[in-house]
Each structure stands twice: as C-alpha cells, then as structure tokens.
C-alpha cells in the first residue's frame, strides 16, 4: 500500500475521521433521526407502511439517509474545500497519478457509507430488531449502486461549486428535501399527491425504493434499480473524468 494511490486513499480515510461535519452528518444524524422517526409510529403493521412493522420499515429506509448525507454533504464540501485552497494543485504537481484522486474519493465515500451503515444497523438491532431480508441480492445491489451514484454526484458537485461554504449551503438544500421525501420522512401514503409526485422524481427515492422493497419483500422495484444503475454509471464516469488531476 505504499503506492501513491494507496497513500492517498489511506490519508483521505484518516482525514475523514477527523472531520466533524462528516461525523455529525454521516454517522450521528441518521442514527438519531432513525431513533426518533422509527419510534414515532410504533411497531404495529399498518397500511401506510405496506403492512410492515413501521420501525422495520424505517430501519430498511435509513441506510439511504447515510448514502445521501455522504454524497450530498460530506464529499462535495470536502472536495470544494480542496479546490478552494489549492490542495489539488499540490497533489497534481507532486505527480500523483491522474486518476488517483478520483479513486481515493470514491473509495473514501464508499467506506464512509459502509461504516456509518454498520453503526446504524448496530444501533437499530437492539432497539427495533432488524427486519428479515427477503431479497438479499437486491438489497446489496441497490445499496452499492445507490452509494456509488451518490458519492459520484458528490464528487461532481465538489468540482462545480466554488467554495466549501457554497458546497455546504447547496448540499444542505439538496439533502433535506431528499431526506424528508425520499428516505427518512413520512411514508408516501401520508403525503399529498403533489409531494408524492415530487418525491417520485428524487434520485434518493429510487435508491430507497430499490433497497427497502427488496429488503421487506413489498415489491421488486426493478424499475428503480435500473434507474439507480443508470445513474451510478453516468455519475461515476463523469465524476472520474472531472476529478482527474
């Protein structure tokens, strides 16, 4: 791991653990909101939750809150601050391979998603119990593609937004509607038709549908999975291109 790429990945992972914004939004926020919302609707299966225990419905939804927090807040703020301060210029001048920074960002983002998801499940298991997984492969594919898509969207945002402050502002504006309508807020059943239409267009809703439906066995979500897959391919290709040193 003493290649330039290995050193860059290791350094980025170390720095991630020292970033308060990451720890707050990616590791703490999803857990706290899951505990609040997941506990608010009780455990009795309900029509609003496709006749599933509401706590379990939220446990299966909240993995994508982690994905959104990583892709819409952590990655763009990190990258925009690097650009703003000339860190990338320094990496480029030091002869780091052209694609190494893009790879390091994708790896760091995916590791953050995996670690924060593990924390989330570790808190959910003793509190609400983990719902049994109906289509494990569907969950894994939806989760991985969704994470890849959102981390790549984060890299793209970071290459477009001029400063860490603007990335934070734009990130929060994108994150909260996605979070409330597409993953961790009220169930679609409780939304008005206008909100439900808006939610249907949010990429995060598609990721959540793909993961939750496969997990709880309430649908196949093939359409959502295809959309997420296409998004992942397009966003990753663009992100790698844009973040070449």
Partner 1 sequence: MTDTAVVVVRGLRKSYGSRAVVDGVDLDVHAGEIVGLVGANGAGKTTTVECVQGLRRPDAGTLRVLSLDPVAQPERVRALVGSQLQSSALPDRLRVGEAVRLFGGRDGNELLEQFGLAERRRSAFASLSGGERQRLFLVLALVNAPRLVILDELTQGLDPAARRNVWAAVDQLRADGTAVLLVTHELDEAERLCDRVVAMRAGRVLDCGAPRDLVGRHGGAVRICFTLPGDMMSRLGPGQLKALPGVEDVSYETSALTMKGSRAAIAHLGAALASAGWVPPDLSVQMPSLEDALVDLLERAGPAPGLHTAEPALPELTGALR
Instruction: Pick between residue 48 and residue 160 the one whose CB is nearest to partner 1.
Output: 160
Give the whole-angstrom CA distance, residue 20 versus residue 36.
22
**Which window, 23-31, 127-135, 225-233, 236-244, contacts partner 1 (CB under 8 A)?**
236-244
User: Of the candidates 42, 86, 162, 223, which one interacts with partner 1 according to CB under 8 A?
Assistant: 86
Give the pair of three-digit tokens for residue 168.
């934070």
Any contact of residue 89 with partner 1 (CB under 8 A)?
yes
Give the pair of three-digit tokens for residue 167.
């990335």
Give the whole-angstrom CA distance, residue 102 versus residue 116.
21
Burial of residue 47 (number of CB atoms within 10 Å: 0-12, 13-18, 19+) = exposed
**Which window, 43-51, 60-68, 78-86, 210-218, contacts partner 1 (CB under 8 A)?**
78-86
Instruction: Pick between residue 98 and residue 134 the one whose CB is nearest to partner 1.
Output: 98
User: Of the candidates 42, 97, 129, 200, which one interacts with partner 1 according to CB under 8 A?
Assistant: 97
Helix (H, G, I), strand (E, B), or coil: what is residue 52?
strand
**Which window, 58-66, 114-122, 139-147, 237-245, contacts partner 1 (CB under 8 A)?**
237-245
Give the pair of three-digit tokens for residue 115.
């670690």
Please state the closest distance from residue 16 (CB atom) to partner 1, in A. Answer: 10
User: Of the candidates 87, 140, 226, 237, which one interacts with partner 1 according to CB under 8 A?
Assistant: 87
Task: Break the chain down into helix, strand, coil percent, rounded to 5.
Answer: 80, 0, 20
User: Of the candidates 19, 39, 130, 177, which one interacts with partner 1 according to CB under 8 A?
Assistant: 19
Half-sphere exposure of 213 (CA within 13 A, CB side): 15
Any contact of residue 14 with partner 1 (CB under 8 A)?
yes
Q: Residue 244 — φ and ψ, nearest 5°?
A: -65, 140
Cα distances from 77 to residues 31, 81, 156, in angstroms, run 21, 6, 11
Any contact of residue 242 with partner 1 (CB under 8 A)?
yes
Please state the closest distance from residue 236 (CB atom) to partner 1, in A. Answer: 15
CA angle 157, 234, 201 (to 5 degrees): 75
Please state the closest distance from residue 113 (CB atom) to partner 1, in A. Answer: 21
Any contact of residue 8 with partner 1 (CB under 8 A)?
yes
DSSP bridge partners of 46: 52
**Which window, 15-23, 144-152, 187-195, 222-230, contacts partner 1 (CB under 8 A)?**
15-23
Using CB under 8 A, list all residues that contact partner 1.
2, 4, 7-8, 11, 14-15, 18-19, 82-83, 85-90, 92-95, 97-98, 101, 159, 242-245
């Amino acid at each position: 791991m003493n290649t330039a790429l290995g050193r860059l990945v290791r350094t980025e992972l170390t720095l991630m653990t020292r970033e308060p914004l990451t720890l707050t939004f990616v590791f703490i926020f999803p857990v706290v909101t899951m505990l609040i919302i997941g506990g608010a609707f009780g455990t009795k299966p309900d029509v609003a939750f496709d006749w599933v225990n509401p706590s379990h419905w939220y446990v299966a939804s909240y993995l994508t809150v982690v994905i959104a927090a990583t892709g819409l807040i952590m990655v763009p703020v990190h990258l925009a601050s690097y650009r703003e301060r000339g860190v990338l210029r320094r990496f480029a001048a030091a002869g780091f391979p052209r694609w190494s920074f893009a790879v390091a960002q994708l790896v760091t983002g995916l590791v953050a998603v995996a670690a924060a998801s593990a924390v989330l499940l570790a808190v959910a298991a003793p509190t609400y119990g983990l719902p049994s997984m109906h289509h494990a492969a569907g969950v894994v594919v939806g989760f991985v593609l969704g994470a890849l898509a959102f981390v790549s969207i984060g890299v793209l945002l970071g290459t477009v937004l001029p400063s860490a402050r603007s990335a934070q502002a734009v990130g929060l504006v994108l994150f909260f509607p996605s979070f409330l309508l597409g993953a961790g807020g009220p169930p679609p059943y409780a939304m008005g038709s206008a909100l439900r239409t808006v939610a249907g267009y949010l990429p995060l809703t598609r990721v959540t549908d793909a993961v939750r439906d496969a997990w709880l066995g309430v649908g196949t979500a093939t359409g959502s999975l295809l959309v997420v897959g296409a998004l992942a391919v397009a966003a990753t290709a663009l992100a790698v291109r844009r973040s070449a040193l």
